[in-house]
Amino acid sequence: MSGGALHVHQATVGELQTAASTVLAPLAVTAPRAGAGTGVGAGEFRADIDAAAVGRAAVARIRGSGHLVQRSARAISSTDPELLKITLHGSPEPAAADQGGNQSRAHSGDFVVFDMTRPYRLAVADGCDVMAVGISRTELGRHADSVAARAARRLPADTGAQAVLAMFLQGLGRHLDELAGPAQTHAGDALVSLLLAAFTETEPGRTDTATELVDRIRVYALANISDPSLCVDSVAAAHGISARQLHRLFHRAGAPFAAWLRGERLARIRRDLLDPAHDGRTTAAVAARWGLHDPRHLSRALKSQCGRTARELRLERR
């Protein structure tokens, strides 16, 4: 999200969907009981939405009728920002979260994380009061994966850093309009630091130098992922280390560099093949967009990593 604050009061379901998709990424929002004869129907649905950029994060507060938020595989595009969504629930009734096989019921005072690069569902009840933070994975650095690993699992905010973060977010929700200039930037920095404190167990000042270097290499590789010449030798040279050192670093991190890079490229190719915006591109052109110019083994690699060939992926969403 960029620009000024967003305020929509007494919003309809459609207006909430538009606002949520603008602040974060394409989402489907429905009132599950619409037309059921009891409870909240589509015509009775109302929600208040307040949102603003805080530093490099997007922060929103949603209050009102019960609804279901879904991020479907079909809605996920390779052009979407790679965001994590952190929600803080203040509703009287528990919310139901579901992502990647993890399911939980978030009570008032609980945090829940969602990885916006994967499908998820979040159902909230009438009288909902939800704070949502959308933040790029790059802002969390090497901690992004550990935060994302908590997807759809409730994290109580009753003690320690979690309680401090909850109080901070509640204050943001009340004063979003009052932050501008340097104050907004400093508040954004504080938000990132509190998120890391609440969702990781890493102590400040104890970062491993080798881990930092792996993080820098990954950021460099992702920034140049469309370059077909990107390889162990070129990346090692760009960071002033030998190819053997790079191999050793990534072996300790859990996966060889070449395998990690191929996995990142295949994940983006998969997203493009599922995205109708790329229907005019051949599979070879989609692969070339992400630095793979030899498509002969592409379908086999996609089948191995994603469970579908390139052709099956495109047929799957039709």
- E strands within the chain? 6-11, 28-30, 47-54, 57-64, 67-71, 83-89, 95-99, 102-106, 110-115, 120-124, 128-136, 155-156
Can you give the pLDDT at residue 254? 80
Same fold, 6-199 and 209-316: no
pTM over 0.85: no
Q: Are strands 128-136 and 102-106 parallel, antiparallel or unpaired?
A: unpaired
Task: Name which of 318, 233, 304, 234 is nearest 262 in CA terms.
Answer: 304
pLDDT for res 42: 45
Residue 229: phi and psi, rounded to 5, are -85, 0
Predicted pLDDT at 38: 35
Topology of domain 209-316 in CATH is Arc Repressor Mutant, subunit A (1.10.10)
Please give the order of strands across the beta sheet that includes 67-71.
28-30, 67-71, 120-124, 95-99, 102-106
Domain boundaries, the chain: 6-199, 209-316
Query: And the tokens for 311?
Result: 């052709």
Say if residues 169 and 176 touch (Cβ distance below 8 Å). Answer: no
pLDDT at 300: 83
Q: What is the pLDDT of residues 217-265, one digit of tens each?
A: 888 888 888 899 999 999 999 888 999 999 999 988 788 999 999 888 8
Low-confidence ranges of the chain (pLDDT < 70): 1-4, 32-43, 201-209, 317-318
- Domain 6-199, CATH number (from 2.60.120.10, 3.40.50.12160, 2.40.37.10, 3.40.50.880): 2.60.120.10
pLDDT reported for residue 205: 44
Model confidence pLDDT, tens digit, residues 71-115? 998 888 877 888 999 999 998 899 999 999 999 999 999 999 999
> Can you give the pLDDT at residue 96?
96
- Burial pattern 47-66, b for ≥16 Cβ within 10 A else e, equals bebbbbbbbbbbbbbbbbbb
